[in-house]
Structure 1
Amino acid sequence: MGLSQWWPFGRVPEMSPEELAQAMENAQVQVLDVRTSVEHRRSRIPGARHLPITQFSKRRLADLELDPDRPVVAICLSAHRSIPAVRKLRARGYEARQLRGGMLAWWRAGLPCERGNEGVGG
């Protein structure tokens, strides 16, 4: 995996906030928040697992125990850090995509969030 996988630009498969909310309701996807710990504590999608993009490694991903048979949706603030996350997840065999527009789009859509330390894990 070269340096180009870290490039936060380019196209990767995406999902809208509304599509993600529906897929989560039907337990069709797993959500992986790749923002910093501070960002994650402030506001996050309920049930999202957390692994900052700066800490991505084969071991750390394995620790999350993601289901290889369910798609993973990577999220960040504005859909830039999630691009390399999607590339790395796909390189490890996951069906992965990003949340189009990131948390900014999720918040604009008025979709549910958790705040503070409740429910924080991973």
Structure 2
Amino acid sequence: MAKSSLWWVPFGGVPEISAEELHGQLNREQAPQILDVRTTLEWKTSRIPGARSAPITSLKSQLDVLALDPARPVVAICLSAHRSIPAVRLLRDAGFDQVCQLRGGMRAWWKAELPVEKGE
């Protein structure tokens, strides 16, 4: 699926969005789809409301199951904006044009004291 064999490298530049900017977009009609690529345990502990879970280790095989809409923006998130870098690359290679990562990851979201969900 990915065009590059190095899609998984957690370094390099990808488009980003700030926690505050993302929060402001979540109530819009065409709100971004949130893809949380942390572990399932991390996702259950604290996540952005409405985020879908797909750990980076299995993201490539879960893309079809996630049923993300390629016509809508996708924001990949992780703890500190490292695992989300390869997620952005993988989604771009899969045909998603509007994809970015959350700058600073969940740490930035928590620091801004924005809303979270917990549990299943």
The TM-score normalised by the length of structure 1 is: 0.90
**Greater helix percent: which structure?**
1
Aligned to 2:21: 19
Rounded to whole Å, the distance in 1 between the matches of 2:73 and 2:111 is 24
Aligned to 1:6, the other structure's residue is in SS state: coil
Q: Percent identity among equivalent residues?
A: 59
Pairs aligned (count) = 116
Rounded to whole Å, the distance in 2 between the matches of 1:78 and 1:107 is 11
Alignment-mate amino acid for residue 64 of structure 2? A
Of the three residues 92, 98, 101, the one matched with 1:98 is 101
Residue correspondence of structure 1 range 58-69 to structure 2 within 5 A: 59-69=61-71
Question: What do the CA deviations read for 1:27-59 (whole angstroms, capped 9, x no partner)?
Answer: 4210000000010010001100110000022x5
Aligned to 1:76: 78
Unmatched segments (≥5 aa) in structure 1: 118-122
- Residue 60 (structure 1) shift: 1.3
CA RMSD, Structure 1 to Structure 2 (Å):
1.1
Alignment-mate amino acid for residue 23 of structure 2? A
Unmatched segments (≥5 aa) in structure 2: none
Aligned to 1:111: 114
Alignment-mate amino acid for residue 105 of structure 1? A
